[in-house]
Amino acid sequence: MTFANQDAVSSTAGTQRRITAALVDAGIAHQNNDRSTELTDNAKVVLERRYLSRDREGNVLEEPDGMFRRVAINLSQADLSYGASEEDRQATEDEFYGAMRRLEVLPNS
């Protein structure tokens, strides 16, 4: 790895730490002892009220992780329009899912 790449990786890690700290400070997320980022109870309520899939009767059909996966699948479908293989699309899906699960990317409606 070159020094420029090391600086970019270091900068990205620092940015991710600042984003996580801001989410924690704002009460959107909290960190477990294992340093993974989890949604707060309030964030889960907002997701349930506004973003989680529902059936015709209004019953919630998914958990937040399911919503992250659903969004990642839909975002990754665009890759197929530009000649990506299914394997590439799956890699994009996994990348988006991981970023959302770590609360690094939070797309809104």
pLDDT digits (tens, 9 = 90+) for 3-57: 444 454 456 667 767 776 777 677 666 555 444 468 889 999 999 999 999 999 9
Residue 12: the pLDDT is 66
Alpha carbon distance 100, 86 (integer Å) = 21
At residue 59 the predicted structure's pLDDT band, cuts being 50, 70 and 90, is very high
Domain ranges of the chain: 3-101
